A and B are shown apart, each in its own frame.
Chain A
Amino acid sequence: MNFEYTVSGDDYSLAGRASSDIKKKLKQLGIPATVIKKTAISMYEAEINMVIHADGGIIKVTLDPRHIRIILKDTGPGIPDLELAMQEGWSTASEEARELGFGAGMGLMNIQRNSDGLHIDTVVGEGTTVTIVLNMED
């Protein structure tokens, strides 16, 4: 089953809607609470990143009997040094974003910690595609 969401680029107040919707769906499907929590945290983090760093984008979520696959595609600035970006505490979030409590530099590490698979394709100047995979069973 597939779901697609368009994430707006500059409205922070709407950021997180896609993650909330997926979370509701997973609850209706009766997915274990621990898996839902991991999905909620990792997808929310990635969705927020999309709003803060890239000008929004498209999220595709695929559910199959064994996995939850979340693909977040943006056409933002790309990540120049992925290795550095994966380190905890590293952030390029704007002052505005930080004031709202976002971009504390937990981002990519936090996604990795709360998922069963993370893959990032990024090209500077073209955009980033983040793929998050979670196992349905805890």
Chain B
Amino acid sequence: MEQNYFHSVTLDESLCKGCTVCIKGCPTEAIRVQKGRAWITAERCIDCGECIRTCPSGAKKAISDPLSLLEKFDINIAIPAPTLYGQFSSGISCNRILTALKGIGFDDVYEVAAAAEILSRETRNWLKIQKEKKPQISSSCPVVVRLIESRFPSLLDQVVPMISPMELSARIVREKYKNSSARVGVFFISPCAAKVTDIKTPRGIESSSVDAVLGIKDIYKELSQAVGHVETEESLSIANSIGVSWARTDGEGSAVYSENHISVDGIDHVIDVLENLENGHIRNVDFVEMMSCPGGCVGGPLSVENPYIARNIISSRERVLQQAAEEKPVELPEGICLFWTEELESRTTHRLDPDYRKAMQMMEEMERIQASLPGLDCGACGAPTCKALAEDIVRGKTTETDCVFMLREKIRDLTREMIELESRMPPGLDR
């Protein structure tokens, strides 16, 4: 397990008011409010960005790498996520957007949508040979992979062991420049905060071929100006409708397996379906697409356009591509491995203690404490639920008086005792 937990999702202390809105929506119960501000438990955070969506003060942020990193390399290659095409109206062609990327400092581009098409095909083949462990769960959303590691480890062996379209794009670029002595920088243009974390602490592979992740929102201003200044559109786009569709929910699901799949988006729905997969309630399904963000990657915290509008733009681009002269399939260059080389790890961050007997004692104590708490889940203590507070107490992180109701009860007991004492008179004065 990694020692230093880098996370893209961070807190701007100066903006945090210490309200408790974010603690409720966190799917891994990673946030507590203490000393007037929120604290994110690094081991638990899966970079889903839910807190960014819910924070009323804009104090939760997703940090990505700066554009100035381009200076570190001799040749800079942009690998834009398919979602980038949803950020500009459909009248602006993909070629124009890609040409504009070259206008803001990149030397070349490779579309992640092209790699997604290759992976759609390869995943379809993989599913054909998977008879036992069904359904197979998509590994393309880095949040979902981390969620399964921490909350659903029994499903780890059903995760498709293939690299992501981002990673494949970077490998294709590296392959192309493998004989070059120049320093080649590969930059993912991302709607996704978790990808920023993912290239630093990847899953399934030893290290990422991507050098940096630039948030769409962070380059949007420069890029949209460059889009306006494009004089001659270069013919750079090779992606087809299948790859572009990965930006939205059910794009990957349909591309990989057209009939017997389900596509799930939004972290709450993802959790619900994972619960059902674990219970064995979901049978007779071959493939499950899971996207942590509502609407799919178009709903990512680093995107700019409203996810519903972006999704509409993506769909209309897909139609245009389908209607255009026949689509030419994207070829996978030789010598590139698509499979994971590392096993996923169970990261059960919710385990009370490594010693089962100790954990059992702690749970008994937790049950006792929980029964004494009001069960309102008000969040005033800074923990998302009474149960979570009970857990924090047995873990020794806090005490019962963090609960305002328990505190009130203690004060009431004390007051009663004081009144009782007050009524007693010294024997000499007692008539």
Flag whether A87 is at the interface (Cβ < 8 A).
no
Task: Give the contacting residue for A19; candidates B156, B279, B352, B363; CB below 8 A.
Answer: B279
Flag whether B359 is at the interface (Cβ < 8 A).
yes
Flag whether B364 is at the interface (Cβ < 8 A).
yes
Flag whether A16 is at the interface (Cβ < 8 A).
yes
Flag whether B400 is at the interface (Cβ < 8 A).
no
Task: Give the contacting residue for A30; candidates B154, B275, B352, B391; CB below 8 A.
Answer: B352
CB distance from A66 to the nearest CB of B (A): 10
Expressed in whole angstroms, the Cα–Cα distance for A30 and B367 within the complex equals: 17
When the two chains form their complex, are residues B278 and A37 in contact, meaning their CB atoms are under 8 A apart?
A: yes
When the two chains form their complex, are residues A28 and B281 in contact, meaning their CB atoms are under 8 A apart?
A: no
When the two chains form their complex, are residues B359 and A28 in contact, meaning their CB atoms are under 8 A apart?
A: yes
Give the residue name and chain of the B residue nearest to A45 (CB). Answer: B280
When the two chains form their complex, are residues A30 and B351 in contact, meaning their CB atoms are under 8 A apart?
A: yes
When the two chains form their complex, are residues B354 and A30 in contact, meaning their CB atoms are under 8 A apart?
A: yes
- CB-contacts of B99-113 with A (<8 A): none
Give the residue name and chain of the A residue nearest to B357 (CB). Answer: A65
User: Which A residues touch B279, using CB under 8 A?
Assistant: 16, 19-20, 23, 40-41, 44
User: Which B residues touch A16, using CB under 8 A?
Assistant: 275, 279, 281
Flag whether B360 is at the interface (Cβ < 8 A).
yes
When the two chains form their complex, are residues B360 and A63 in contact, meaning their CB atoms are under 8 A apart?
A: yes
When the two chains form their complex, are residues A44 and B280 in contact, meaning their CB atoms are under 8 A apart?
A: yes
Task: Give the contacting residue for A29; candidates B154, B275, B280, B359; CB below 8 A.
Answer: B359
Against A, the Cβ 8 Å flags (1 = close, 0 = not) of B339-381 are: 0000000101011111011011001100100000000000000
- CB-contacts of B377-416 with A (<8 A): 391
Secondary structure type dominating chain A contacts = helix
Expressed in whole angstroms, the Cα–Cα distance for A19 and B363 within the complex equals: 17
Expressed in whole angstroms, the Cα–Cα distance for A63 and B279 within the complex equals: 19
Q: A33-B156, A37-B278 are in contact. Are A27 and B151 (CB under 8 A)?
A: yes
Q: A27-B151, A29-B359, A65-B356 are in contact. Are A20 and B350 (CB under 8 A)?
A: no
When the two chains form their complex, are residues B363 and A33 in contact, meaning their CB atoms are under 8 A apart?
A: no
When the two chains form their complex, are residues B356 and A29 in contact, meaning their CB atoms are under 8 A apart?
A: yes
CB distance from B416 to the nearest CB of A (A): 34
Q: A1-B360, A1-B363, A25-B363 are in contact. Are A30 and B348 (CB under 8 A)?
A: yes
Flag whether B283 is at the interface (Cβ < 8 A).
yes
Expressed in whole angstroms, the Cα–Cα distance for A48 and B356 within the complex equals: 29
- CB-contacts of B240-283 with A (<8 A): 275, 278-281, 283
When the two chains form their complex, are residues A28 and B351 in contact, meaning their CB atoms are under 8 A apart?
A: yes
Task: Give the contacting residue for B363; candidates A29, A40, A136; CB below 8 A.
Answer: A29
Flag whether A118 is at the interface (Cβ < 8 A).
no
User: Which A residues touch B156, using CB under 8 A?
Assistant: 33
User: Which B residues touch A25, using CB under 8 A?
Assistant: 363
Apart from the given pairs A30-B354, A37-B154, A40-B280, 11 other A-B contacts in the complex at a CB distance below 8 Å: A1-B364, A16-B281, A28-B352, A30-B351, A30-B359, A31-B356, A33-B153, A34-B154, A63-B360, A65-B360, A136-B356
Question: What are 9 A-B pairs with beta-carbon distances under 8 A?
Answer: A16-B279, A20-B275, A27-B348, A29-B351, A30-B356, A40-B278, A63-B360, A65-B357, A110-B280
Interface residues of A, Cβ cutoff 8 Å to B: 1, 16, 19-20, 23-25, 27-31, 33-34, 36-37, 40-41, 44-45, 63, 65, 101, 104, 106, 110, 114, 136
